[in-house]
Structure 1
Amino acid sequence: MEEELYDCPCLMKKDMENAENILAFLCENYSLEGFMEQLDQLSSRDLKCAYCLLEVARQKVEKKDILYDIVEVEKLMIVYSAVAEKYILAETISEGVGGKLKNKLKKLLQRYHG
Structure 2
Amino acid sequence: MGDQEELFPIPVGSEPKAPLATRMRPQNFDQLVGQRQVVDVLRQLTRSGHLPSIVLWGPPGSGKTTLARLLASETSARMVAMSAVTAGVADLRKVVAEAKVHRRAGLRTVLFIDEIHRFNKA
For the criterion TM > 0.5, the same-fold answer is no
Q: Work out which of the two has the higher radius of gyration on C-alpha atoms and give 1 or 2.
A: 2
- Normalising to structure 1: TM-score of the pair? 0.37
RCO greater where, 1 or 2, for CA within 8 Å and sep 6 or more?
1
Write 1 or 2 for the structure with the bigger share of helix: 1
Greater fraction of residues in strand: 2
